[in-house]
Amino acid sequence: MKPLRIGTRGSALALWQANHFRDALQKTCGLDAQIVVIKTSGDQNVAVPAQQIGVIGIFTKELEDSLLDGRADLAVHSMKDVPTEFSGVCRIATVFKREDPRDALVSVRGETLARLPHGARIGTSSLRRASQLRAFRPDFQIAELRGNVDTRLRKVAAGEYDAIVLAKAGVDRLGLSSRITEVLSPEVMLPAVGQGALGVEFCEPRREEFKVLDILMDQDTMRAVKAERALLAEVQGGCRLPLGAWARVAGGAMVLDACVLSEDGAQAIRWRAEKVCNSAADAENLGREVAAELLLAGADRLLQMVGRSVGQA
């Protein structure tokens, strides 16, 4: 049998994730695999703000294309990059236990978020992060920052920013945790949907062939991501809108925190719900219930305001 081909982006983090998956396939499933690097729209347009690229799934579309045209058998994604309106011809399985989903601050002089100087310049390309930063401290100057983890860390070390915010999981996976100044509390910065979780995509006709992936699935992680993605789909949000969510199992039940903010952070709607979720369907129902509460409280108005602003940018 030929080795399976795993499609991945070419960044150091993406390669770490793909190799981690390849090793698990060999050790746990007895399957050999090789890595195939695929360039994505997000990688090819690092100087362009994400909202201006005009491609849904800027880090996933070309990987999916590689499955459809036979260049790869499987593709590895960070679940936070996977659009809610997912492919009709492919399927995705959440694999492994989720890494810490929180965001992390890296500052030039070692200050925490609260102790950064007035008007500090903070780098991020995420409206979710920008809005929550402005809600915490309206004086912050938010500056566009794209590129892989190494690039971002190099830019803050060079003094181009006073601080940057990025996913803790990515920094940890690259063995760079010592660079983190502060792990941001979810009360200050709720993470992106799916942050810290990995997914593996395959073509629907090969579903039976890849049922072996079930061995690698962590049920709590799978249900948490299902709840968050159901919430996101229900409010019609996306990676370009300021919505944060974090689902996790605590005390035998699933707890889901979510927030929607205005772009300037001045308005925020938050909701928490708790429910025993014994299946993926239960988790998705919890996500939809929280979405309904957010919408009832006016989240749709905030998202429409942000959507108009992004469209005019």
pLDDT in tens, 202-255: 999 999 999 999 999 999 999 999 999 999 999 976 556 899 999 999 999 999
pLDDT at site 307? 64
Dihedral of the alpha carbons of 236, 239, 240, 246, in degrees to the nearest 10: 80
Domain 103-183 has CATH 3.40.190.10: yes
User: Does pLDDT of 161 surpass 80?
Assistant: yes
Residues of the chain with CATH 3.40.190.10: 1-98+197-217, 103-183
pLDDT at site 285? 98
Alpha helices in 148-279 (DSSP H): 149-157, 168-173, 219-235
pLDDT at site 210? 94
Task: Please indicate whether residue 238 or residue 178 has the higher confidence score (pLDDT).
Answer: 178
d(CA 277, CA 32): 35
Task: Please give the mean pLDDT across all residues of the chain.
Answer: 91
pLDDT at site 211? 94
Per the CB < 8 A criterion, the answer to whether 152 and 143 are in contact is no
Domain 218-313 has CATH 3.30.160.40: yes
pLDDT at site 133? 98
pTM: 0.91
Tell me the pLDDT band of 309, cut-offs 50, 70 and 90: low
Pick the CATH number of 1-98+197-217 from 1.10.10.10, 1.20.140.10, 3.30.2230.10, 3.40.190.10: 3.40.190.10
- Catalytic site residues? 81
Residues of the chain with CATH 3.30.160.40: 218-313
pLDDT at site 122? 98
Tell me whether residue 20 is exposed, middle or buried, using C-beta atoms within 10 angstroms of its C-beta: 0 to 12, 13 to 18, 19 or more. middle
**Number of other residues whose CB lies within 10 A of the CB of residue 96:** 17
Closest CA to 94 of 241, 280, 258: 280
pLDDT-above-70 percentage for the chain: 90
Tell me the pLDDT band of 54, cut-offs 50, 70 and 90: very low
